[in-house]
Chains A and B, each alone.
Chain A
């Protein structure tokens, strides 16, 4: 087994998510700039944000990948060279690109910056990877339609660094080969405006509506196999997800990967990790094409809905070791006497009973009921509780 450790690559919809996911164990993040990125509704980073984010990442020995993966129209080409120069100056480590002209331009003019082929190209065979290898590509993000055998064969036959998605939402159609959003909503799917029409329900002549939405991907149980076949980077989907979601998912995959390398990923631990991932998800999950042809079990059908829970109780602002008070933003209702859990970016999980609770004016309270308000709770512990630790419901 290649012992060069696999990269855990996190989405970062903005600068705060960049920092938080790195604190929770991401080796690198991918982030969109304010132009040329496929997530129009993410906050996306300004050049100044990118500079600050890259500085933050590099001090930790981590990396920032910038998405530049729209399908360009004529007008989008205006100013793209200057933009590329600006973000390179800001310190980014890699571009994620789908357009081969842009790949060629970057490799010619900025040879020290990596270029990764976006999954928007739905690369699904070794000859296509060889084409981009000859163009100087540094990494290929493979199509989500590939199984284990195909992924391994591509790695073995090309030697190119391969990145695969391991967690998050899935497109029903081949990435890049879908313009449903353009036709149904006039929003350009391939320029950042995808309206997720594949999650709509449609009428038919049959008794029930037609749906084609996919369950999310969850590859937690196959992390070891993916490492063993030589995948270089594990990508988590979700630039528009919450801090709590990202902290949970990235923190959990950090645990799984580290335990695998340390030969201590026991079934008992795996059960705990999978439970954490299941609780934070709002959809059912599948491993999709990894071990089988995709089938009807990978989809949602009429009458099934996406659900969310109220597990997320608060986000820690700071912990005062003298007063033993945790200062936090409230997210969901809880009260004195509840058993709750606090987890930290360092991987610590602390379960405790809420004994004392105060509002921002230090008035003692029985309940925390106002989202975004600042509260304090008493917790006597020697474990370090940094900013961005998360408070949640205890679930077994």
Chain B
């Protein structure tokens, strides 16, 4: 099982100790708190000591298509390890341009069953980053039943929603004030905070609580999961976590001290052990 990480800063030196990094491309990626230019990505790829994946996970519009083609061709030439995509226009262009760079299906809340994963596999998609709103049991079923290579995000502040609209700008305009591009909002019923980030692509919503999936890594390892992902934003002592996790995996996930140590990341396990309700009701 390999460990991938996404940084919350430009400093990625300590990533050399792990298997790979994920770099969201500025202007072509959303739902991250840190982005890299294509030139920065090129430099990193040339000096890489690990796998380098690039995120292109925004919803693209017609005017984006021609520049997107050039970016895809460049990333193909750079031989990055893979491209995370949300918009199926990327899959279409990958075919039209006859590219060989591997693709990762990354439709944030939609990667939820093994048959659709297999559909994408049949279309040449090598990997799927599984949804964060399904249970560990469902994740393991996908890992075991699908031909696609599954990736599972185990430590992160989950991205919850994304709007094309500039919701923070609009809010401050209503207030008649100057504001920043960040805003924390509190959902009063659950007393839970959400962090909003706005850029030219729109507004991203994040939980302000870190999902601590360190306790499920062994289950994933035992199920044959090939990749787990950790995202730095909001996670303290991230370099130490990466190093410890890499060692934990190398030792067959048998060190109970690791799980004990990382209880410090909190007790939120997101939907790993909580099933969403409200499937369509059946009339009597």
CA distance A104 to B277 in the complex (A): 27
Which residues of chain B are near A189, meaning CB under 8 Å?
A: 109
Are the C-beta atoms of B278 and A192 separated by less than 8 Å? Answer: yes
What is the distance, in angstroms, from A89's C-beta to the closest C-beta of chain B? 19
User: Does A143 contact B165, Cβ atoms closer than 8 Å?
Assistant: no
CA distance A104 to B115 in the complex (A): 11
Partner of B279, one of A124, A191, A207: A191
CB proximity of A181 to chain B, nearest CB, Å: 8
Q: Is the CB of A73 within 8 A of B161?
A: no
> Contacting A188 at CB < 8 Å: which of B60, B167, B276?
B276
B interface with A by C-beta (< 8 Å): 59-62, 64-65, 86-89, 91-93, 96, 107-110, 112-116, 118-120, 132-134, 138, 141-142, 145, 158, 160-167, 169-171, 173-175, 177, 183-190, 192, 194, 205, 207, 271, 274, 276-283
- Contacts A/B (CB < 8 Å), 18 sampled: A41-B281, A72-B113, A74-B145, A101-B113, A124-B60, A126-B62, A127-B89, A173-B205, A176-B107, A183-B160, A187-B277, A188-B279, A191-B276, A191-B278, A191-B279, A203-B185, A204-B183, A299-B174
| A202 proximity list for chain B (CB < 8 A) | 185-188, 194
Given contacts A100-B119, A184-B189, contact A73 B280 (CB under 8 A): no
How far is the CB of B219 from the nearest CB of chain A, in Å? 16
Query: Are A34 and B59 interface neighbours, CB within 8 A?
Result: no
Additional A-B contacts beyond A40-B278, A72-B115, A201-B188 (11; CB < 8 A): A35-B282, A73-B134, A76-B279, A125-B89, A128-B88, A131-B89, A131-B91, A153-B62, A176-B107, A184-B189, A204-B183
Contacting pair B161 A180 (CB below 8 A): yes
Collect the chain A residues with CB atoms within 8 Å of residue B170's CB.
212, 295-296, 299
In the complex, chain A residues whose CB is within 8 Å of the CB of B118: 101
Interface string of A192-219 (1 = CB under 8 A from B): 1100010011111111101010000000
Partner of A178, one of B59, B142, B161, B280: B161
A193/B207 in contact, CB under 8 A: no
Q: Tell me the complex Cα distance, A200–B110, Å.
A: 24
**Are B109 and A124 interface neighbours, CB within 8 A?**
no
Contact partner of A177 (CB less than 8 A), chosen from B108, B132, B280, is B108
Contact yes or no, B109 A193, CB < 8 A: no
Q: Which residues of chain A in 49-82 are interfacial with respect to chain B, using CB atoms and an 8 Å cutoff?
A: 70-77
Q: How far is the CA of A74 from the CA of B138 in the complex (A)?
A: 7
Does the CB pair A203–B186 fall under 8 Å?
A: yes
Asked if A36 and B280 sit within 8 Å, CB to CB, the answer is yes
The reply to whether the CB of A255 lies closer than 8 angstroms to some CB of chain B is no
The answer to whether B280 touches A70, judged by C-beta atoms less than 8 angstroms apart, is: yes
A43 at the interface (CB under 8 A from B): yes
Which residues in A have their C-beta under 8 angstroms from that of B192? 183-184
Interface size (A, Cβ < 8 Å)? 81
Contact of A174 among B141, B164, B189, B194 (CB under 8 A): B164
Cα distance A35–B282 in the bound complex, in angstroms: 7
Question: B280–A143 contact, CB under 8 A?
Answer: no
Residues from chain A with a CB closer than 8 A to the CB of B65 are 125-127
Interface centre among A104, A132, A191, A208 (most CB of B within 10 A): A191
Select one of B92, B138, B169, B282 contacting A34, CB under 8 A.
B282
Q: Which of B61, B145, B160, B190 contacts A179 (CB 8 A)?
A: B160
State whether A193 touches B174 (Cβ < 8 A).
no
Q: Would you give the shortest CB distance from B15 to chain A, in whole angstroms? A: 28
Interface centre among A77, A150, A179, A186 (most CB of B within 10 A): A179
Give every chain A residue within 8 A of B96 (Cβ-Cβ).
127
Q: Does A389 contact B (CB under 8 A)?
A: no
A101 contacts B174, C-beta separation under 8 Å: no
Ranked 4 nearest A-B pairs via Cβ: A193-B278, A127-B89, A296-B170, A202-B185
A35: chain B residues within 8 A (beta carbon) = 280, 282
Asked if A192 and B205 sit within 8 Å, CB to CB, the answer is: no
A298 within 8 A of B: yes
Q: Which residues of A contact B171 (CB under 8 A)?
A: 206, 210, 212, 301
Contacting pair A73 B138 (CB below 8 A)? yes
Also in contact, A101 and B283, with CB within 8 A (given A76-B113, A210-B171): no
Nearest CB of chain A from residue B116's CB, rounded to whole Å = 4
Contact across chains for B116 and A99 when beta carbons are under 8 A apart: yes
Check B174 against A72 for contact (C-beta < 8 Å). no
Of the candidates B187, B205, B279, the one having the most CB atoms from chain A within 10 angstroms of its own CB is B279
Q: Are B175 and A206 in contact (CB under 8 A)?
A: yes
Pairwise interchain contact A190-B110, C-beta atoms closer than 8 A:
yes
CB distance from A217 to the nearest CB of B (A): 14
Cβ contacts A82-119/B at 8 Å (1 or 0 each): 00000000000000001111001000000000000000
Chain B residue numbers with a CB within 8 Å of A274 are none
Contact call A74/B161, Cβ cutoff below 8 A: no
**Contacting pair B280 A37 (CB below 8 A):** yes
Q: Give bound CA distance, A98 to B165, whole Å.
A: 23
Q: Are A179 and B116 in contact (CB under 8 A)?
A: no
Q: Is A130 an interface residue (CB 8 A)?
A: yes
- Distance in Å: Cβ of A143 to nearest Cβ of chain B: 7
Docked-complex contact B169 and A174, CB < 8 angstroms = no
Please determine whether A173 and B115 come into contact, CB atoms closer than 8 angstroms: no
A172 touches B167 (CB 8 A): yes
A294 proximity list for chain B (CB < 8 A): 164-166
Option from A44, A134, A173, A295 in Cβ contact (under 8 Å) with B283: A44
Pair B88/A132 contact, Cβ less than 8 Å: yes
Rounded to whole angstroms, the CA-CA distance of A131 and B65 in the bound complex is 14
CB distance from A23 to the nearest CB of B (A): 24
Q: Are A177 and B59 in contact (CB under 8 A)?
A: yes
Are B184 and A178 within 8 A (Cβ)? no
Q: From residue A200, how far is it (CB to closest CB) to chain B in Å?
A: 7
Kindly state the separation between the CA atoms of A132 and B87 in the bound complex, as whole angstroms. 12
Contacts of A154 in B (CB 8 A): 62
Residues of chain B within 8 A (CB-CB) of A153 are 62
Question: A175 CB to closest chain B CB, in angstroms?
Answer: 10
A124 touches B87 (CB 8 A): yes
Q: How far is the CA of A235 from the CA of B185 in the complex (A)?
A: 33
